[in-house]
Structure 1
């Protein structure tokens, strides 16, 4: 599979190419021998940018990675392909294309727990998967307040699911490894091996319970 270029990686992550260069220099991001980047690189860049926005210094993260104190390898696992990259379409453009008010499209991102987007912000790949629902409801004459409420209920329910999963992952997976005295690398191996299997069966179970 052909890798991503520097500019493509930056575009999909929603950052300047110089930011990709900086992460590469700090050892936070890796490039292949031909200078290309892997499919998961945009997701890694976006997560690192969020960590930086939250106050984590990039040079400190780079040093921790070089000393194997932390790892971002979980981003490259199959279960994390749901970290959608940015599309080339803005909220404003999509609103004009499909005839759905931009306020309803913005509610998709808000329902996922993020701040309201600007009209010029690019929509994310996984947000695009929600658009057909909103579009159909709008075309059928659903009131905007009803569509907005439904999205927020879905989002809040999924947050409760995520919080519960985080709790049992910590108590049933991470803590036994930590208490056994194993080195941190064992935590990374456990995540890489168990996360994909759990993600598949959890998705299946949630869909079955819903129906």
Structure 2
């Protein structure tokens, strides 16, 4: 699954993978206005998959195809901004007193930093972090944001945020979530291509609101 990295940053087929999948809804489209997916690989393997696509009805309509093609044309222009914004935000979050930890593979502190540098040296537009105070604090943070939009999607030109414990992983028992790294206070953010300082100002003021709330309840 090369959705998070995109073909701009990582080329799994060149590394020996047989098949690669993409949620085209994400970075390839880039504007959150298409629902589509793709499977890429050797012709003989794709030929086995194609009849199932036909039988299951996975046909993207012509207008969605147009929107997806439009998005792919600007992928090379969008991704460097996603990546640079994301790394700078992650770097600043590492030093923020309201943040317990930050997950970003381009940070030297990440346990798989060396692997990331080898297979996707250009970086990523995604990051996650843990807000002090647990899931309640994470929700307070998310709902105190003004320009960063709450959504379970990613890869949009607009910055998006979600708390997995309240959305994508809400059905997963807390102990299982924690084993997977989705600990209390965990927030996932897809950093967009807005002005960097606008993104950071929104994050910083939301964290300030969380801190004030925790002090009030102490």
TM-score computed with the length of structure 2 as normaliser: 0.28
Give the number of the structure with larger relative contact order, counting CA–CA contacts within 8 Å between residues 6 or more apart: 2
From the two aligned structures, give the one with the greater strand fraction: 2
From the two aligned structures, give the one with the greater helix fraction: 1
